[in-house]
Amino acid sequence: MTDPFGRDITYLRVSVTDRCDFRCTYCMSEHMTFLPKKDLLTLEELDRLCTVFIGKGVKKLRLTGGEPLVRKNIMHLVEEIGRHLKTGALEELTLTTNGSQLTRHASDLYRHGVRRINVSMDTLDPAKFREITRWGDLSRVLDGIKAAQDAGLKIKINAVALKNFNDTEIPDMIRWAHGQGMDMTVIETMPMGEIEEDRTDRYLPLSMLRADLSRQFTLEDIPYKTGGPARYVKIKETGGRLGFITPMTHNFCESCNRVRLTCTGTLYMCLGQNDAADLRTPLRASEGNELVSAAIDEAIGRKPKGHDFVIDRRTKRPAVTRHMSVTGG
């Protein structure tokens, strides 16, 4: 699959549910309206769609949500997709999670072929963790991280950089993550979906954060890549890697190799654009995959060059109305 700008699409992110057991303030409203369960693709349909994408050249597949591990019988899907790892058709199956369910699922994830996961965590302060997630319990996430490491999973910590919330804490989070043998990535907040707060109050350009970090760490740019948009540095003092994901200040669209599939079968060719393709209808219209394969080809043929995120005092509305949890975080 090659888009109009010559970019090969080899990375599929699949949101298996829009539901989550947290309500992170920058991601969701406190009182979310979730999709009716009847609108969701079955696990078998998700597997079928993933298999079509793998047959068309996807080499890396990431399960996301919402919180993917709250989807009922999610391990059945992980096991089914894992069969493509055994044949070599798929190079990596991975997962982004908030960590709340890892104590229950870590061993099964490893058993079915997952070797690396991302855990989203924005603070190591229990009170602040409860504040930012509204419902979350930090100790449960830390227990989940330990269970995942004990199971053999490699972990990367993802933290959204938030002004006047965790900006001064990020150096200690880096030391903690690297001390535990985990990489870490910091991410700029993105204007997706209506939330209760003004995102300009929280928005922290990572160029500013990097300048602050340079005052206490030695940062060396390195060519390390995981298939996603992060640009990495090696930190001399800790020996670990730190990634920067900058959709606002320095977008990474020129090398975008990703598309996103929602739990309803909607394909978004760009996280920051509203154009989408319905794959559920052709999927259900035939027992064969010719119709859905053609729909995918048509969608890739109109993948945009990039997104147009803006956060400033004049731009109060989100760039796209859907929440991140709908598209897949």
Q: Which residues are annotated as a binding site for S-adenosyl-L-methionine?
A: 26, 66, 120, 190
By C-alpha distance, which of 57, 8, 101 is closest to 78?
Answer: 101
Answer whether 35's CB lies under 8 Å from 18's CB. Answer: yes
By C-alpha distance, which of 61, 68, 122, 78 is closest to 100?
Answer: 68
Residue type (1 letter), 250: H
For the sheet containing 11-15, what is the strand order? 219-222, 231-235, 241-245, 183-188, 154-161, 116-120, 92-97, 60-64, 11-15, 258-261, 266-268, 276-278
Answer whether 114's CB lies under 8 Å from 151's CB. Answer: no
Residue list for the binding site for [4Fe-4S] cluster: 20, 24, 27, 253, 256, 270
DSSP state of 202: T
DSSP state of 8: B
Q: How many CB atoms lie within 10 A of CB 199?
A: 18
Residue list for the binding site: 13, 20, 24, 26-27, 62, 66, 96, 120, 156, 190, 253, 256, 258-260, 270
Residue list for the binding site for GTP: 13, 62, 96, 156, 258-260
Rg over alpha carbons for the chain, rounded to the nearest Å, is 19
d(CA 105, CA 233): 31
d(CA 211, CA 44): 47
d(CA 235, CA 241): 6
Q: To which residue do tokens 């910091």 refer?
A: 186
By C-alpha distance, which of 157, 162, 189, 187 is closest to 173?
Answer: 157
By C-alpha distance, which of 309, 307, 327 is closest to 319?
Answer: 309
d(CA 60, CA 226): 10
Q: To which residue do tokens 């996103």 refer?
A: 260
